[in-house]
Amino acid sequence: MAFDPSPVVNKPDGKLPPEAMRLMADAQRRLSTVLKARKVAQRACISLVFMGVLTGMFAVVGGQGPSWSGLVMGVWMTVAGIVEFIGAQGTAKLKPKALTMLAVNQLLLGLMFAGFGAWWMLALKMGWNTADVKSAQQFMGSVSNSLVTVGDAGASTGRINSIAYTAVYWGYGSLVVFGLLVDAPMALYYFYRRRQLEAYLRETPEWIVQMHSITSGAV
């Protein structure tokens, strides 16, 4: 039968037996590992909200007219950042569902990046008359004119346009890569931390869990 030190927590001398101290130290170590996910989510919250607001503003006022897809991306990133904040708070309260929410949030975010990146690559390649393509064409024209003006080693206008097109095309492609190689692993990370938290809650004495649920914000 496992030793339960809860009856001696309130001893007059305030001291716990060695076995209780060992259990507390082991639980603290396991919880500290789990709560790293909270710090990750907090940093993701700041980055996503900041970049989401910038993306939304540029989608509205930049380029050739409003870019509705860019605006959707900006709003989505901002909302995802708010979800990261809520998930971080739930993780600090030792709620496994909060880590599930964070994982799903990253999966959806990755699909959004990959989807929009692929859409913009296709639109540029097909020459569709969208605000995004017009903005890309404007950017490519500006780059081409600048390089021709400074006489970039005698490069032809056609060659410069080709370089600018390739840069923009693979710039969109980087969104696909980001969604697959950053957000997807982040989702797996949160799922893994959920498993660790569930194991901690299942295997740690209740009196320690209750104590940590109050103090975990400072771990």
3 found inside a domain = no
Residue 132 lies in a domain: yes
| 82, burial (CB in 10 Å: exposed 0-12, middle 13-18, buried 19+) | middle
* Dihedrals phi, psi of 93, to nearest 5 degrees: -90, 10
DSSP, collapsed to helix, strand or coil, labels residue 211 as helix
Asked if residue 113 is part of any domain, the answer here is yes
Average pLDDT estimate for 149-155: 50
Highest mean pLDDT range out of 46-60, 143-157, 166-180? Answer: 46-60
Q: How many domains does the chain have?
A: 1
CB 76 within 8 A of CB 141: no
> For residue range 90-99, what is the model confidence (pLDDT) as tens digits?
999 999 999 9
State the pLDDT at residue 218.
44
pTM exceeding 0.85: no
The answer to whether residue 199 is domain-embedded is yes
In a domain, 6, yes or no: no
First to last CA, the chain: 30
Angle ∠(23,24,25) on CA atoms, nearest 5? 95
Q: Does some domain include residue 2?
A: no
Residue 10 lies in a domain: no
What is residue 190's predicted lDDT score, i.e. its pLDDT?
98
Inter-residue contact 83 to 109 (CB < 8 Å): no
Which domain does 44 fall in, by range?
A: 24-218
Q: Is the pLDDT of residue 182 over 90?
A: yes
125, 137 contact by CB (below 8 A): no
Q: Give the pLDDT confidence of 53-68 residue by residue, as tens digits.
A: 998 998 888 665 667 8
189 against 156, higher pLDDT: 189
More reliable by pLDDT, 53 or 167 = 53
Higher pLDDT, 201 or 124: 201
Question: For the chain, what is the mean pLDDT?
Answer: 81
Instruction: Note whether residue 129 is domain-resident.
Output: yes
